[in-house]
Structure 1
Amino acid sequence: MLWLGMAAISIAVMALVLWPALRARVDADERTDYGLRVFKDQLDEIARDRAAGHFSEDQAAAARVEVERRLLAAAADRPPPPDKPIGARGARISAAAAVLALPALGFVLYLAVGQPDKPDQPLALRNLRHPDAQAGEIADMVERLRTRLQTEPGDIEGWMMLGRSYRVMGRLPESAEAYREAAQRSDGDPAALSAYGEALIYASDGVVTPPAQAAFSETLRKQAGDPRARFYLALARVQAGDVAGGLADWRALDADSPADAPWLTTLRERIAEATRMLNLDLARLPPLARAPQAPAMSPPVASAPPRGPSQADMQAAQGMAPQDRNAMIRGMVEGLAQRLEENPNDRDGWLRLARAWTVLGEAHKARVAEARAAGLTAPAPERVDALLDQARALFPADGNPDRVPPAFTALMRRILALDPEQPEALYHVGLAEAAAGNKPQARQLWTRLLAKSPPGSPGYAEVKRRLDGLGP
């Protein structure tokens, strides 16, 4: 059947080739002249579009160069006039011979080198130009953009485009420098600041450096809730050893993100990685629809003592056996406790230590650390974020929300009184009401929380399960 189809195609091709030869010979010079006229018309059209403002001068120049190149090529291909024209009969004989010979030659070549089992490559996926030529053209365009920005330094979008171009080319330090220019010349535009911080991370092999933290903190100060800034500041906490804090920030960002947000896949991979590092079950963690934004982070002083494991430590921990990883984490937590004894006025450090002891199941040590933090210049008691810090330090190490201590529930009730829509308080106070048999109040709290949770998120499923468990 395949060969019949090929034969039919061959006959059709032969008919198409023979038909013009059997009728009238088309003059090659006329075709060439027609092509030259087309290219000249295109040049006139480019000039008209440039005059009308449809193209910039750079775009018009590039288009003219391409059309002129084709015009020259068409003129060079114009055949010289033959010394002796071929007659109509000779043309027919030549065409017939070519039509008969070409299929036979193609069949022979196919038998010799054909690969019928090899998959095709769609035209849209083919790179029809030499990679070196493409790279050279891109480099030239980027260089022209950089040169233009030297004379027009106030073009913020131009600096942003230059930063993106350098990043695509793999010139990461230059990309960061271009974004820095955009951020400075835009008086700290949040989009430029956020892009600058991300470029610094790319240039430092994924490490959230102090300048990057400062850029993201300033971004949040000017545009609260910026997802890129929140993501990387949480990553900075994880890289500094505060895995639990980074996990909480990532989960809050997950809850705040739209269901179709493009960053959700990467974000949830990070959340899963952090829960594995802490030996937690993500499905058992309480839903977190929104977390309060942390105050802007200042770049750490270069001489300050390390606050946690380095990035190399984190990578090494991931490859360890569970018992070895736990021993390593415990050693780092004990090191943090020792440093805090030497520097006891570090309130954030005591809160971080309380969370770490909680993760390790050391409830008594967690309460001691939380008390040390409370004894310092803590925020006023009416601040929700301060109460949340205290409550999270008391949360069970196994992540089971059904085994929280009474002090935790009392703090959650205080939080709910200050902020009636605080997601964690809605969830945990609802648990307390359900345990006390007050199902209507639990249902009312969880219904409000469900309305705030993105459908399809783990938090939504957990709250829905709790609501269904209340019965009619």
Structure 2
Amino acid sequence: MILFWIIAGVLTLAAAVVLAAPLFDTRKFKSEDAFALEVYRDQLAELTRDEQRGLLTAEQARAAQIEIERRILALDEGKRFQPARPPSHALTLAMAVILPLAGFGIYLFLGSPHLPSQSAMERLAEERQRTSPEIQALEAKVEQSPSDGQSWIELGGAYADVERAKDAADAFAKAMALGRKEPDLLRQYAHAAIVAAGGRVGPDAQRALQRALAADPTDPTARFFLALAKAQNQDVEGALTDWLALEGQLPPNAPLRGLVTDNIDKAARQLGKDPATLPGRAAGAAPAGPSAEDMAAAARMSPEERQAFIESMVERLAAKMKENPDDLEGWIKLANAYGVLEKREEARAAWAEAAKRAPSRIDVQIDYAGSLIQGRSDLAQILPAEFPEAVKRIRTLDPENPLGMFYAGVVARAEGRSEEAKALWEKVLALMPEGAPERQQLQRQIDNLGKPAN
């Protein structure tokens, strides 16, 4: 080891000497006047060439020549060269010898040269060793059974417990891709996605919350974060309205109530209003949506009673949309609610209304297109008349959107353009994670392109 440090020190010293050598160079360098003289001579030569090519007349060339010659005469011809000032030998010695040796000595005093180096793979292995045994066991479990949605849910919960929000959101999303759509899973995914995004309620989190709310219109967590999404998208007035309705329905000791109240106060002040005199807090004001009694009763219902309660809530929302047809968020909620109830025709109609009112929102356009073909098994031959136009809007908004490319492939296949469909679907396939069941399904569709339908 000592020999190594001796060799390293010699090499360092040699490199420093090589780098410092130019400091000893006292050769003479050209002055600025000499450089200017060369430029003027080049200009005279160029002037002659321009005159020969006919770019300048004889008069123009002569005038320019006189001006350049005047500038040449103005130069100090006797001062063509000047010696460079020799550097300080003390400075050169310090740079070449003392500084490297001083740095080496400081490292020996403060550093840890006796420690072995650690490769990137070793550091990753060490990081994994610091992961809890529970998480390691769950990771091994999903590796063995990647199509087991429950295992992904358990792994996501474990990640969330140790504040690995991004990993938790990815695990929950995997479970959802495998067909798990329970409201609690939707809430867990949304929460993890929001934490991973630094508190921002993104489009994916919003869609999950809307589906959770469609399954349970009384869900306070979904209602709170959807209102927060409005506030983050500059609709503070809409967020305030939703939070006021939620505050009026939460029990006094509800864990979420303090957070709701704080956000109401903040939104009111942002809008220049007095939080204490807001209409939604006035005595006798009728709260929007389900009442506190409705929420309490829903918690005690049997599954059949709860289903009937949800259907009644959806009917009330549908009636409200007839009175206020320009409420985009209302149409989205209604479409999601119909989807949960598996009322596909009603869901398509609601998505059509939402898509008409939000032509630039790609999430709405994608959900509308998806509703048009949901449950259909004859897409290789027949497409709904509205579907190609819906796909065209998606592709205009974002040509590289994976679902947009997939839907465009569906249109191309139905219209007999198999090669175009294959190219689009192969691009989508490349974006899918390895081992995802959707990859196998899409690969089968690619393999079946051009084959006669069974």
TM-score with structure 2 setting the length: 0.36
- Work out which structure has the larger RCO, using CA pairs closer than 8 Å and 6 or more positions apart in sequence: 1
TM-score with structure 1 setting the length: 0.35
Q: Looking at CA atoms only, which structure, 1 or 2, has the larger radius of gyration?
A: 2
